Structure 1
Amino acid sequence: MSDFNSKHEKVAAKLRNEITGTEYEPGDQLPSEKRLCDYFKVSRVTVRHALQTLENERLIYRKQGLGAFVADTTLNSGLVQLTDFSEDMKKAGLKSSSGLISLDKVEPIKEVNEILQLRPDMKLIRIDRIRFANGNPVAFDITWLPPGYGQLLFDEDLTTQTIYDVLEDKYEIPIQGGSYRITAKNADDYIAKHLGIAPESAVLEIDRCSRTTGNKKVYFQKRYYNPSHVSYVLELSRNDNESMSSKDGLPLKEFSPSFAK
């Protein structure tokens, strides 16, 4: 485990224990980021990442300009968390690895530059990788990054590290959120070759865009899953608590990939 991950997880664990124990009541305010930095003797980036973890777990909520507050965990809240490939594999009890096909500076792509909110003439960094689970090729990724983030990856071993690993652990660039778009697609010759399937076979295409602080886009990625190895599990909860407004609808509790072993 990296030093950065270890630090922020230790901070999150300590705060989690206090929140779920008897230290705090729902609505109580947590100490300021500065006080938490002093108390844990860590950087502000580490504290913010720990708070983001707790917010993702719905244990706290934040008010702009005021700070972080303890959430009412008696409400039936859902948890949906952005994860990377290695985290998905670990959760599934599988060993992850990657095969790096290419890492290059490429010409602008109108659609990608717009998604990443870059100038139309700005070149991109493109990474093509095969993603393995227990040695089986289950996914193929094509990832585009702005040059500022992409140049940080050229000297890294992306067969054993993920992009999240490098940016968060080495450069303390937290990945705070992202969006998913899932569609069905027929694999072209290039994708099929690297997944070891026949051309025009059906694959699951996931377009995902991850962002860091300030809503800055870190990368846009197209991931192609072999559906014989993976499916997505969607779990909803129905909450009849009248204190919840109708706009809350059916909270999404879990949305995660399920891998065949």
Structure 2
Amino acid sequence: MEQQTSKHEKVKQHLQKEITGGYYEGGDKLPSEQRLCDYFDVSRVTVRHALQNLENDGLIYRKQGVGAFVSNQTYKSNLVRLTDFSEDMRKAGLESSSRLIDLKKVDPIKEVNKILDIRPDMKLIRVDRVRLGSGKPVAFDITWLPPGYGQLLFDEDLTTQTIYNVIEEKYEIPIIAGSYRFTAVKADEYVAEHLNLDPGDALFEIDRCSRTTGDKKVYFQKRYYNPEYVSYVMELSRKEDSEEASSKDGLPLKTFSPKFAK
């Protein structure tokens, strides 16, 4: 899985260098996905992942059925790159791993089924994991998937692989978007036990729903971070005396990323 991840990073870095180095001008069309696949000798999902990252960074924009185009230099993206736990840990210089607590089929949950846009009577696949950063219990995840996606996980080693890796890299189902909700909560007994905390201790909860093409929901996840180890840092962009600075939409969001204590 690490090899596949490095491939899409390699494609992204190559294209980013060409875009920022002046090889392309604003509005220029990038080579087709198939040409990029042939040139880099990678799969289509790897190319799409790289292009999605470039789009999130504001360097390109895409037109459905037409292709990818280089953004004008004045273009500012208000999107934040979608990452998974292993990517966050790697950036923080920590080794990621997981301790699988449970993987099973469960009865429908009205709220979760609604979020996943599946029938209210459809059973779910639930995955409970402790997420480790260099051996420390950094977070606890509870993830629900529709059975069509969840069944793909039963033969996988989820202690060393992420759901993101399995779904996207092995089965070539691209995770192209996600919605987040951030909340401060108190740990219940179940979560507190696995994070070596006391019930009632403060946690940072992130509810995340990830989507693939066609706006299909792949999974809904509740992640409980131990605030001792993680904080989120926001960087905004503002230019004095510019239209951007006075925009009614506020300051464009450049980055919103987790910072981990080692």
What TM-score do the two structures reach when normalised by structure 2?
A: 0.91
CA distance in 1 between counterparts of 2:244 and 2:188 reads: 50
Q: Which runs of 5 or more structure 2 residues have no equivalent in the other structure?
A: none
CA distance in 2, matches of 1:90, 1:6: 12
Report the alpha carbon displacement of residue 15 of structure 1 after superposing the two structures with TM: 2.1
* Displacement after TM superposition at 1:52 (Å): 1.2
State whether residues 4 and 172 of structure 1, in contact with CA within 8 Å, keep that contact through their aligned partners in structure 2.
no
Question: Match of 1:176?
Answer: 176
Q: CA deviation at 1:246?
A: 2.7
1:126 is displaced (CA, Å) by: 0.2
Match of 2:257 in 1: 256
* Aligned residue in 1 for 2:137: 137
Deviation at 1:245, TM superposition (A): 8.4
Distance change in 2, residues 1:243/1:255 (3 Å): closer
For residues 43-58 of structure 1, the aligned pairs below 5 Å read: 43-58=43-58
The corresponding residue for 1:66 is: 66
Q: Is the 8 A contact 2:116 2:146 kept in 1?
A: yes
Question: CA shift at 1:256, angstroms?
Answer: 1.3
Report the equivalent of 2:19: 19
The aligned counterpart of 2:124 is 124
Change (3 A) 1:85 1:44: closer
Q: CA 1:259–1:150 in structure 2 vs 1: closer, same or farther (change >3 Å)?
A: same
Give yes or no for contact 1:144–1:221 (8 Å, CA) kept in 2: yes
For each residue in 1:159-199, what CA deviation from the matched residue of structure 2 results, as whole angstroms up to 9, or x when unmatched?
Answer: 11111111111111111111110111111111111111111
Alignment: residue pair count? 261
Alpha carbon RMSD of aligned pairs, Å?
2.0
SS at match of 1:130: strand
Q: Is the 8 A contact 2:56 2:81 kept in 1?
A: yes
- The letter of the residue matching 2:254 is K
Q: Deviations over 1:45-99 (max 9, x none)?
A: 3332222121112110112343211112345545611111111111111111111
Consecutive unaligned residues in structure 1, runs of 5 or more: none
Is contact 1:100–1:159 with CA below 8 Å preserved after alignment? yes
Aligned to 1:218: 218
The secondary structure found in structure 1 opposite 2:87 is helix
State the alpha-carbon separation in 1 of the partners of residues 134 and 44 from structure 2. Answer: 37
**How many Å separate the matches in 1 of 2:131 and 2:72?**
39
Name the structure 1 match of 2:90.
90
* Residues in 1 aligned to 2:243 and 2:31: alpha-carbon distance in whole angstroms: 31
Distance 1:178 1:154, change over 3 A: same
